[in-house]
Structure 1
């Protein structure tokens, strides 16, 4: 079965910008540590997975439609508009894209209020029965997409973790198909989404395994034995439903490339980080 690698571009960019131990300077003393880290990680992942197809998806500048549902959504994220180049991850994005073009990897910036998550989910929905799919990101929202053919590749160098269905259940106590409902109950600090008060991970997993998803839990409030949990769910019905709407990935976004346009041929000679940097004029 062919393998499709879907890369959450900004997620990997930020991981490398803030995770590299020292700033590396390129031509004109421009910081390039995120570029070096991004390419190095991507090439290691490619060598490990040996994908037949690759797409890198970046979040565009149009913002997210989800903020219209809940203005607090990702309101905790840093605004980089006026931040100086040396401290701004986006200052290295153009050269990352140039590097991807050089090694013939398709990339895309989202438009029309969609996020990278939405586009990646659409690729998964379209090709999950035809290909093995690996999503590169440390965003746990993608855990809801995991099945027998879909895995989440959380890159951490030698400590990389690949989540399959078994590992999701082992880590969170719920099946991957119920993970969006799980997060709707417990919340997500990274996206500034508050969960249902008093419903922590263990309680959320127990409720989901007993009743099913958020809507089923809310329909069975009268059957919940613990008064405090019954009361907090009743008081926060709207929050749980809105959270689920924000977290759930439907996979209904148009695809930027047909699968035949994303074929990747691994070339050991051309695909070396330093060669890419030199050939593209970054160093």
Structure 2
């Protein structure tokens, strides 16, 4: 099946992300992880990144987070090209959330958010003035968890932890927020709380761009505007969600019949009967 794309022309000034003919190869095994990826993310766009395990989603997110370089092609993030910019400075301007982040369990939720200002695991108290501390409280409120400010991170639920980590990532005022399976292992109420929080975040920050890696369409908030489907390291489809999150495209992506439905901005998918 031919690749589907609805993107326009070459990258223009002001793109949040611009990937051109990007490939990643594992030198030890000569395995191609990503192959010929072209992709643009613009301010205010909210992308869902989907594909089967091993499709290249994590590698693609690592490129956007300046955690690795491509083997070939160009990766530009927030106006800086990997290989020509100090990646430490670039990472400080990105928000990156993953459940694998190391967080001391005894820190309060407010302190965890504060560490986003210094970009450290442990708090650097001398760097947090009253304005910074107040901002951390405001971000907890924005994510709907202001009552957790003094609660130890280790006793927060999975959904609460996810929202604390997002608040932490927002301390840097990023233009791009990367979310690597933020819904992992959440129960239904926690998932819905996080979906609502992401929707409010998108509405309140019209210039913020997000990229969310997920395995389940049910985890997408109504704010998600675009989707990219990866299959075996290549882009299968990309563009507005209504054109990409369809039964035929997801069937091609996952290799089995998939039916897709949408109601009031929310999606769900299931494996349709074969034959």
Task: State TM-score, norm by structure 1.
Answer: 0.27
Greater per-residue helix proportion: 1
Query: Between Structure 1 and Structure 2, whose CA radius of gyration is higher?
Result: 1
